[in-house]
Structures are given as structure tokens and as C-alpha cells.
Amino acid sequence: MQRTNFAEMACSIARTLDVIGEPWSPLVLRDVYAGFTRFEQIQADLGISRKVLTERLNHLVAHGVLERRPYDQRPRFEYVLTEKGAELVDLLMVMVGWGDRWLAGAAGPPVLYRHHACGEVSHVDLRCAHCGEPMHARDVDLLPGPGAAR
């Protein structure tokens, strides 16, 4: 519902939430990434209301995160990740890392990730793009940037 418009805020978190902050959106993205690319598949997998799924898909397409394309002569469509969308899936992987660590409980994580490069089951780690050392919330100072509000 989110009647407040996050898109206008001078904050990249708020702007990102404007794209995927609505309920279900990250799960829709996860499904598309996992290979559930059609309306019926996503709806059945998530148990989401068809109405809401329509709204979310349209929103994600409008923001260039998904692309809607026909896969048949008949009016049939599938949704595929754009480059912009694929990079959002990286964000989901970080969510998975946190959820696995803090919420998985005794049963352990529901899904494992095997890294192509090394072949091992692993998880993401945040590093500084500049020096390669770990970069976490406590390892940085915040400075006003060029796009800061006046």
C-alpha cells in the first residue's frame, strides 16, 4: 500500500524500495530467477492473488526489471530478468545470507548455493570494491554525495 512515494526521496534505499518494496515483489523476482517464468507458474508457486500478481509484474516490467515476452503464437507470455533485474537478484542472495544465518533454525537453510567458480556450496560475502577487504556497515563512514538533498 505504501501511499508515500519513496521514489522521490534522495535515498537509494527508498528508491530501490519503490521498485521492489511492495509485498511479494522480491518473491516474484526469486521465482523468475528460479525458472518460474509464467503467470500461472508464479501464481501457483507463491499462492499470490492473481490481481496482485498482475500489478507486481506490470510494476516490475515498467521499471525495467523484468521483460514480458511472447513464447507462442497464442497470446502467451513469459517474464525474463533484464540485466537490471539480474543485479537485483544479487540483493536477494544477500537477503538469503541473512535469513539463513538468523532465521533458518535447526532445520538449516532451505536452499543451498553452489558457486560455479569453485564448485563449493557457499554464500556471499561483502567486500570493498576498491581494496577487496571486508566491508560491512560498521566499516564505513557516510558522506553526503553529489545527489544529496539540499
Residues that bind DNA (CB under 7 A): 1-4, 22-24, 38-41, 47-52, 54-55, 57, 68, 71, 73-78
The answer to whether 84 contacts a second copy (rule: CB under 8 A) is yes
Which residue from 72, 74, 75, 107 is in contact with a second copy, where contact means CB under 8 A?
107
Phi, psi of 78 (to 5 degrees): -125, 160
For residues 68 and 115, which CB has a smaller minimum distance to DNA in the complex?
68
Residues 108-147 that bind a second copy (CB under 8 A): 108-118, 120-147
Residues 52-71 that bind a second copy (CB under 8 A): none
Least Cα distance to 19 among 9, 36, 6, 31 occurs for 6
Burial 34-60 (b: 16+ CB within 10 A, else e): eebbebebbbeebebeeebbeebbebb
> In the block, which residue shows the cell 544477500?
94
For residues 27 and 135, which CB has a smaller minimum distance to DNA in the complex?
27
The answer to whether 86 contacts a second copy (rule: CB under 8 A) is yes
Least Cα distance to 94 among 53, 132, 136 occurs for 136
State the minimum distance, in angstroms, from the CB of residue 81 to DNA. Answer: 16
